[in-house]
Chains A and B, each alone.
Chain A
């Protein structure tokens, strides 16, 4: 971190690190329960670590000023990618564990922290926020600077954002391990972690806007619109869904202010738009940058990219109620969610189609370059899972699929097939450039990763489709005498082969990701001093 900072910036950083350590100390000292005390200790340790790191380098040689201003600030991106891969291992590892527990529940060890209930949110949070979020932040810095032709507005904010964000993720998952949770899906982290994330997020959005304001390009590229929608809407969702009253300022436990069906609606308004703006909008920004760059092709249709951006932003906000079909939620709200979900298909497919049409004229490269193939497969799975989503949102279809593993299959065709694939495509594009190399250290390993990922996704998703449809049918089949044909237990027993297959598919996917992490490490270690980033020179910048 410190080599990218001037001496003055290191002093500011040191001050912030001391502040963080003090905050941690205060939390640990005040805490009346274990979770908050541990979290205070984590913040204290992190703050002290940063104090030593920055304090020790306070008077080391700083980067030459004018030279620095003429280059993009890629050190945060590098750190963000490292964290992306670390969280991939944590999140996917927890995923394999809970998948195996579903197949073999008796295998649960006697410690609560190893049980399904505690580890499932570790998996979802580790993947969505740890893996996905770090990838979004890291690539957003990369894309923003290059499409604006401007260096990040200051050198400290990106570090505050990344370190602060990872502290949030760490607080969240360690809290779940200790049984501390708000019990809101994808928003399980307790109140102080939520507040902390708000601070981090505001700094992130301000950094984005300040950098855009310095841009040397007259127009703002569509990828930036997506990234901004991601940051802005996630802030709104996060704040509204997490409004809660802590039982005590010295404890982790809090209660949400929302109640009853309003609570359910707000939770799924949040939940679905987390899918929309966290797992979709930001990653579309990634797609819109890395696909044309890697394929060397112009975006197929400028107009289509505008239509899909506004279509997605407008329609998505309405559709959360399709998670609450046939519940106490009034019928009319369900109807609106259903119809807007169907209309949403058009802008979704417009994006997928635009991406695939962009590859016209580059199919030879898709065949030869596994990195580009990752992006192609991502676009295909994006199209697939949005079609499936709109289909599942239709009430009678949902009556079959809801509460079954079909939903889980849908989710993973989106997250493995789309989100993870585009992340890997972006990583394989960025990492060689960071290392000043033409290619990854082990180009063959990228091929292996690609096929493991595709195969793993297919095994996982097909197993869950079968599982879900089997469950749905077993739950609703009556015999001639009006009695249910199957007991619930039988429907659970019928899942065993699918759960085993799912575990195997997940293992394949994790193996691929581990190969990716090792490959990135080898590439970054073999870095050359050359600068192979074929960037345009930065426009002249005002002094920072």
Chain B
């Protein structure tokens, strides 16, 4: 039995000379290990790996010196640059804000009429407002404010609460049916009416925008008794109750017989979130002017 440290005892070694296998391609001998046919070359350590390791280590040391890096109990090394990511973020936002201040300042306590007539200002402000709208409102109100089932169109000049910029700003800030402070708009359920009465109402309401509604039909009478208080005489709206005009075809949920029947049976209470906590007052004013001018921009 040979001493295990004898090179001749190693697998792969020549039992007489102790020489190991030399790889003909690279000219290196192997380490002598052999695992089911796998061998390893005795290649010297590649210098480039050491250099690379040193370079990356040097990069790290420099970074550790400059930036906050190592914990020291209750504190950490602050780094020569004295950077603080919270302050950097605030500075960054302020820098962006500064580029807006010039034109945005006018919206903090606005005179909407003056702002709207300032073409230069509008050219600066409206693209920004359009992005604000796309990021916050388009998900419900559609790309160009065209609305959809359940969400009112904002580009059609038919308003629930009014289209003056001041009114729109209030709607945006407070929201509708969202919190106790919101605008309140509730269509009660008329499930207590007889089905026949409801049907008469449905027929009447469907006919309203077509201009074919009789004024003395049973439906018209029922409407005047039960509905006109909120929807206005003849359903023309505009009473600041949040009840849409039923005379112009521009409604939230639809004015076909099926939609109206659902409205009457179950009532409606759409929700528009309030934005006062999420957008600044200035931004809300900017959006209000944008929304108020949407009908003009609509094709």
Taking beta carbons and an 8 Å cutoff, which residues of A are in contact with B?
A: 146-147, 149, 217-219, 221, 289, 292-293, 297-305, 307, 311, 326, 330-332, 334-336, 338-340, 342-343, 345-346, 349-350, 353, 360-361, 478-490, 534-536
A339 neighbours in B (Cβ, 8 Å): 59-60, 63-64, 69
A302 to B64, Cβ gap below 8 A?
no
Q: A221, B38: Cβ atoms under 8 Å? A: yes
Cβ of B124 and Cβ of A338 under 8 Å apart? Answer: no
Q: Which of B131-139, B198-206, B229-237 contacts A (4 or more CB under 8 A)?
A: B131-139
Give per-residue flags for B71-109: 1 if the beta carbon is below 8 A from chain A beta carbons, else 0.
100001101000111000100000011111001100000
Residue B111, interface by CB 8 Å: no
CB distance from A221 to the nearest CB of B (A): 4
In angstroms, Cα B79 to Cα A331, docked, is 11
Specify the chain A residue showing the minimal Cβ separation from B63.
Answer: A339
Partner of A534, one of B37, B100, B138: B37
With A338-B63, A342-B59 as known contacts, state yes or no: A301 contacts B135, CB within 8 Å. Answer: no
Binds A, one of B48-56, B218-226, B257-265: B48-56
* CB-CB under 8 A for A487 and B131, given A219-B33, A335-B69: yes
B138 lies within 8 A of A307 (CB): no
- How far apart are the CA atoms of A332 and B75 in the complex, in Å? 10
What is the distance, in angstroms, from A480's C-beta to the closest C-beta of chain B? 8
Q: Are A346 and B127 touching (Cβ within 8 A)?
A: no
Beyond the given A303-B44, A489-B138, please list 7 additional residue pairs across the A-B interface where CB-CB is below 8 A.
Answer: A218-B33, A293-B37, A305-B40, A332-B71, A361-B23, A487-B131, A534-B37
A301 & B46 in contact (Cβ 8 Å cutoff) = yes
B41's partner among A147, A301, A350, A481 (CB-CB below 8 A) is A301
Q: Name the one of B37, B40, B76 contacting A332, with C-beta atoms under 8 angstroms.
A: B76
> When chains A and B are docked, how far (Å) is the Cα of A300 from the Cα of B27?
11
A293-B37, A299-B41, A488-B134 known; A361 and B25 CB under 8 Å? Answer: yes
Question: Hey, what's the 0/1 contact readout for B8-36 against A, CB within 8 Å counting as 1?
Answer: 00010000000000010110001101111
Residue from B53, B77, B85 in contact with A343 in the complex, judged by beta carbons closer than 8 Å? B53
Interface residues of B (CB under 8 A from A): 4, 11, 23, 25-26, 30-31, 33-46, 49, 52-53, 56-57, 59-60, 63-64, 67-71, 76-77, 79, 83-85, 89, 96-100, 103-104, 124-125, 127-128, 130-132, 134-135, 138-139, 143
A332 close to B68 (CB less than 8 A): yes
A481 touching B38, Cβ below 8 Å? no
Cβ contact within 8 Å between B134 and A303: no
Across-interface contacts of A302 in B (CB, < 8 A)? 31, 33, 40-43
Residue in B56, B127, B134 whose beta carbon sits within 8 Å of that of A481 in the complex? B127
- A332 and B35 within 8 A (CB): no
Residues of A within 8 A of B40 (CB): 298-299, 301-302, 305
Chain A residues with CB below 8 A from B103, complex form? 481
Contact A335 B68 (CB under 8 A): yes
Chosen A-B contacts, 6 in total, with CB atoms closer than 8 Å, are A146-B36, A221-B35, A339-B63, A343-B53, A345-B52, A481-B103
| In contact, B46 and A343 (Cβ under 8 angstroms) | no
Once bound together, how far apart are the Cα atoms of A135 and B263, in whole Å? 59
Which residues of chain B have C-beta atoms less than 8 A from A330's C-beta?
A: 68, 76
Give the distance in Å from the alpha carbon of A335 to the alpha carbon of B67 in the complex. 7
- Indicate if the CB atoms of A361 and B76 lie closer than 8 Å: no
Residue in B closest to A311 when the chains form the complex, CB atoms:
B53
> Which of chain A's residues have a CB closer than 8 A to the CB of B96?
478, 482
Pick from B37, B57, B67: contact of A331, CB below 8 A.
Answer: B67
A269 to chain B, nearest CB (A): 15
**Cβ distance B11 to chain A, nearest Cβ, rounded Å:** 8
Kindly name the residue among A332, A349, A479, A489 whose own CB sees the greatest number of chain B CB atoms within 10 A. A332
Q: Which residues of A contact B68 (CB under 8 A)?
A: 330-332, 335
In the complex, which residues of chain B have a beta carbon less than 8 angstroms from the beta carbon of A149? 35-36
Known contacts A303-B45, A331-B85; is A217 also within 8 Å of B100 by CB?
no
B138 touches A483 (CB 8 A): no
Determine the chain B residues whose CB is within 8 A of the CB of A292 once the complex forms: 38-39
User: Which residues of chain A are near B67, meaning CB under 8 Å?
Assistant: 331-332, 335
| CB-based nearest A residue for B72 | A332
Once bound together, how far apart are the Cα atoms of A417 and B86, in whole Å? 38
Question: Given A331-B67, A536-B36, do A304 and B128 touch, yes or no (CB 8 Å)?
Answer: no
Does B99 lie within 8 Å of A336, measured CB to CB?
Answer: no
A489/B135 contact (C-beta < 8 A), A332-B70, A335-B68 known: yes
User: Could you tell me the distance between the alpha carbons of A304 and B48 in the complex, rounded to whole angstroms?
Assistant: 11
B75 and chain A: residue at smallest CB distance? A332
**CB contact under 8 A between A147 and B36, given known A342-B59, A346-B53:** yes
**A343 proximity list for chain B (CB < 8 A):** 53, 56-57, 60
- CB-based contact B131/A304 at 8 Å: no
> CA of A147 to CA of B25 in the docked complex: distance in angstroms?
24
The CA of A332 and the CA of B69, in the complex, are separated in Å by: 4
**Chain A neighbourhood of B38, CB < 8 A:** 147, 221, 289, 292-293, 298-299
Residue from the list A147, A304, A479 in contact with B45, Cβ < 8 A: A304
A residues near B41, Cβ cutoff 8 Å? 298-302
Q: What residue of chain B has the Cβ atom nearest to residue A535's Cβ?
A: B36
Residues of B within 8 A of A350 (CB): 49
